[in-house]
Amino acid sequence: MANPSKKVVLTPHDLFFRKVMKNPLAAEEFIQTHFPPSIAAAIDPGSLELTDSSFIDKDFNEYRTDILYKALFKGIPGYIHLLIEHQRKADPLMPLRMLEYTTQVCRRELAATGGHQLPLVYPCVIYNGEKPYCYTTDIFEMFQDPTLAREIFLKPFTLIDLPSIPDNDLKKKPLIGMLEMHLKYANTRDTFAFIKKIVDLLHQVEAMNQLDIILAGAYYLFQTNKNGISKDEILEEFKRHLKPPTQSEIMTIAEAFVEEGV
Per-residue pLDDT of the chain (262 residues), as tens digits, is 344 444 555 678 778 888 999 999 999 999 999 999 999 999 999 999 999 888 777 554 444 578 999 999 999 999 999 988 766 678 899 999 999 999 999 999 999 999 999 999 999 999 888 888 999 999 999 999 999 999 999 999 999 999 999 999 999 999 999 999 999 999 877 889 999 999 999 999 999 999 889 888 888 888 888 888 888 888 888 888 888 888 888 777 666 556 555 5
pTM as predicted: 0.79
Please list the residues that pair with 77 across neighbouring strands.
72
Q: What is the DSSP string of 150-185?
A: HHHTTSPPP---GGGS-HHHHTTSHHHHHHHHHHHT
CB 31 within 8 A of CB 40: yes
